[in-house]
Chains A and B, each alone.
Chain A
Amino acid sequence: MREFLTLLIEDDENDIFFLDHAMKKAGWPGVVKVVRDGAEGIAYLTGAGAFADRAQHPLPCLVILDLNLPVKTGLEVLQLFRNTDPDNAVPVIVLTSSTSDIDMREAYRFGANCYMTKPSHPDALLEVVQVLKAHWIRYNQTPASWA
């Protein structure tokens, strides 16, 4: 069984720091890889360019996606990823500061599995990370072939 890989697509260094801080506190398993713009995110997810080698850059088990990204937006990343490989059921968690109805609707339409807004307080963020861990890592079941 391979290592649990989380791909974090986020451009804000502070948010990366807080999430990493909360994940450590929550005991998030495996490895967390970070890409910092939408284009890079697409490249990783579709195995293009610098990320063509799947042995070095394997497909993640969970994606945490910000929407407000440079180069390509989070929604574009999501849409392209789901369209490129419709059978791929890698859960995508949208974690964003946007509370816009339109963003929510679009995210779910393009195949997001969960939509959460970034809490302001580190305690609240820790709670979110704990919930995510419990749900997607501990309890959520996926077919053996995905591993």
Chain B
Amino acid sequence: MSPSGQNELRGLVRAGQVCAAITLVLGGAGVAGWIFDQPILRTLWKSGPEMKFNTAVALALTGSGLLLAARRAAWARSLACVAAVLLLLISVPTLLQYVLSVNLGIDELIFRDTNFVATTHPGRMAWYTASSMTLLGAGILLLHRKRASAVPLTQWLALAAGFFPIQALIGYFYATMAVLGMTVQSGYMAVPTAVALLCAVAALLLHAPGRGIMATLTSATAASVASRALLIALIIVPLAMGWVVLHLVRGGEHTIEYGVATVALITVVLLVTLTWLNAFRLNRAEEALREREEQLRFVTDHVPVFIVHCDQEARFKFVNAAYAGRFGARPESIVGKRIREVVGTQAYESFRHHVEKALGGSRVEFEEKIPYEQLGERWMHCVYVPEKAPDDEVIGFVAVIHDVTTRRAAEEALRESEEHFRSLAEGMPHMVWECDRLGAWHYRNVAWTEYSGAATESVPASSWLNYYHPDDRERLTRTWNETLRSQGSIRFDVEARMRRHDGVYRWFRVTAAPVRNTSGEIIKWAGTCTDIDEQKHAQEVLEHTVKERTARLRETVHELEAFSYSIAHDMRAPLRAMQGFAAILEQEYTSQLDATARSYLQRLVTASGRMDRLIVDILNYSKVVRGELDLSPVDMQKLIGTIVESYPNLDASRADIQVEGTLPMVLANEAALTQVISNLLGNAVKFVAPDVRPRVRVYAEGTHGGGEAGGLVTICFEDNGIGMPRESQKRLFNIFTRLNRPGLYEGSGIGLAIVRKAVERMGGRVGVESEPGQGSCFRVELQRADAI
């Protein structure tokens, strides 16, 4: 039932209580009228029959009985029963007096009825009143019964009791008391009595408006709504029509036939109209209802759960298709059956106590293994929600049931897997541990316990860090937090010292990996600690040895370099002496030498000169190879200008050296770059055919890797020299490589080796393109220092 429907029913219950209160008030007024001798309180009318004293008392008992029965407390319900019994003690003997034509002396037991009218028995309540009271008394008594069948019975009794006051009121309405055999012998019902009885009847009917025969009228269904409207019309129309007939005939202007015919016509028109309107509304409502039912059925039949609705006697009122399908049946074949009949006795007995608890008014949720006859043992998760009437009476329950056998099996498999893991972990020599997804420890294997000396239970979940060396904790924490934050994408693999039970620290490799569920979410972390103490010490010894040997090797290399430098350097001193003395001989004593001696002297000068160049070149090469080359921005344009000016062989009188365009700033070591450029330009002007004036073009060829600082730039040195064959170009930059016959072009064969080594050490490259007789183009690629 919808909440609004529940509210309406509560409103009806409250209205019933108001009616009971009216009955009590009218009965009380009657009693007061007798005690204080106030006839107006007994008649509530100018004339006519009075409410008898017994009637007034009985009405007061009826009203209070009904009010008490509406309360939940047990004492109130008991008092309601007492009131009903007292009521019956008045009404039943009175009836007996009429039936047996005896006077038991109860009519004027308290007060004498001196002003009696329309009765042959002073002080006695009317026969009809007593009958109505008896029915009401029985009805109130039945309210105490909890059986479901008690409610409709009470309501039938109330309807029967209502007949007599209606009869009396119709009599008063048409000013004739001879309605259905009312006579002075039977006594007449007073107006307040009839009203009070009608209120009592209404109160009894509205005690449980949502149940029994009242449910037909009070439910929110379209039929009930239509019935309520029709009922009001059916009460009002005949009464009104009767009044119309009387009015027409009493004036004397119309015959009785005319009056009856008119009333019949109006009644037919009204009833046909009402019936048609009701049919129209019912049809519309039924269509909407059918649509809603289909929707509901669709939903309940397609949800992956079993939905069941049972009454208070554990009979199915509704089951969805899924539930019926489990038992190989259709829902309609299960509805109406008891749960036991469908699921089997053994299964029902296993969860009967839960059903009883739900019918006792409690919500029940359980997950148990149920032994079905047809399906075998299944794990079921059930939620039972009791269904209550507006008066909180439990009238059934709704159950939502899941078959969780598969999940249970998976959990069981997981448990077995966990156990397998545990037994494996316990047998391992490595330490194995687990923590939850946030890092709280919850498992350590026996290897861990033995090493640390701490019993597993005595170790708090957050204390893992305390077992590591204080110097390693910050690193461990940092890496662990990074691993947690990265959801495991940063691997936790740390070397740290761990304290043994005797206080000795040993090195361990600590690793952890996330354990994920099927959705990929991390559910926990599994980790290991592997003892690497011995490897660590061996590694330390090895590292120390390597460091020591490297230092020794470096020292040796340094010594060797210094030695070779020193040899080359020291060789120059005697050579310089030879050159010097030879030159002095040549210049100052040439007149004393003959031609052969001069020729030998000339050879001595040439050879020593070549030797000197060779040594100078070797020293330069050695400097480029072993010296430190700090790089800084160098203005290429300016540098080339300076070199051309300071080297006599590059002088304009001997060669045309043209710098085309603007050369960029490059990142280089100025001394090394000077060596490179002077060597290249020197070669360019040297290796030319006889009688050819050397011509060199220097230009920047463009940039690679963008025009920004850090990109590369190529400087080209293009000459008109003798060129070289392609096959020679590969070894051109090797040390001591000379492509020409000795004597043709002087050189040590080191110059281009210096160029290559220096350019490479400055982060660049050097290459050549050349054809014999076509000149050469040397390309030097260097890092650019400025933006374009």
Contact = CB atoms under 8 A, between A and B. Distances in A.
B616 to A, nearest CB: 8
A140 interface: no
B569 A98 contact: yes
Chain A CB within 10 A, most for which of B577, B584, B616, B627:
B577
8 contacts: A12-B573, A14-B574, A14-B580, A99-B623, A100-B623, A101-B627, A120-B608, A121-B583
A120 B616 CA distance: 11
B576 interface: yes
Nearest to A119: B576
A125 B577 CA distance: 12
A47 to B, nearest CB: 31
Contacts of A18: 576-577, 580
A123 interface: yes
B572 interface: yes
Contact of B577 (A14, A98, A99, A100): A14
Interface residues of B, number: 23
A121 B583 CA distance: 7
Interface in A88-122: 97-101, 118, 120-122
Contacts of B627: 101
B21 to A, nearest CB: 119
A54 interface: no
Given A21-B584, A101-B671, A120 B569 contact: no
Contacts of A122: 579-580, 583-584, 587
A120 B584 contact: no
B643 interface: no
Interface in B594-651: 608-609, 612, 616, 619-620, 623, 627
B576 to A, nearest CB: 5
A100 B608 CA distance: 22
The 7 tightest CB contacts between A and B, nearest first, are A14-B577, A122-B583, A120-B612, A120-B579, A18-B580, A120-B576, A122-B580
Contacts of A120: 572, 575-576, 579-580, 608-609, 612
B623 A101 contact: yes
Interface bracket on A:
10 to 19
A120 B623 CA distance: 20
B499 to A, nearest CB: 52
Contacts of A15: 573, 576-577
Q: At the interface, is chain B mostly helix, strand, loop or mixed?
A: helix
Contacts of B671: 101
A14 B620 CA distance: 25
Nearest to A102: B627
Chain A CB within 10 A, most for which of B583, B608, B623:
B583
Interface in B568-593: 569, 572-577, 579-581, 583-584, 587
Contacts of B623: 99-101
Contacts of A21: 584
Interface in A18-53: 18, 21
A65 to B, nearest CB: 16
Given A120-B612, A121-B580, 13 more contacts: A12-B573, A15-B577, A18-B577, A21-B584, A97-B573, A97-B576, A98-B569, A99-B623, A101-B623, A120-B575, A121-B579, A122-B587, A125-B580
A122 B586 CA distance: 11
Interface string A67-100: 0000000000000000000000000000001111
Contacts of B576: 14-15, 18, 97, 118, 120
Chain B CB within 10 A, most for which of A14, A15, A98, A120:
A120
Contacts of A123: 583
Interface string B482-513: 00000000000000000000000000000000
Contacts of B569: 97-98
Nearest to A18: B580
Contacts of A97: 569, 572-573, 576
A99 B579 CA distance: 19
A100 B622 CA distance: 10
Contacts of B620: 99
B556 to A, nearest CB: 20
Interface in B247-274: none
Given A14-B576, A120-B576, A99 B583 contact: no
Interface in B537-573: 565, 569, 572-573
B253 to A, nearest CB: 148
Nearest to A21: B584
A15 B578 CA distance: 11
Nearest to B566: A68
A60 B587 CA distance: 33
Contacts of B608: 120
Nearest to B586: A122
Contacts of A121: 579-580, 583, 609
B567 to A, nearest CB: 13
Contacts of A98: 569
A34 B569 CA distance: 23
B403 to A, nearest CB: 88
Interface string B66-99: 0000000000000000000000000000000000
B654 to A, nearest CB: 19
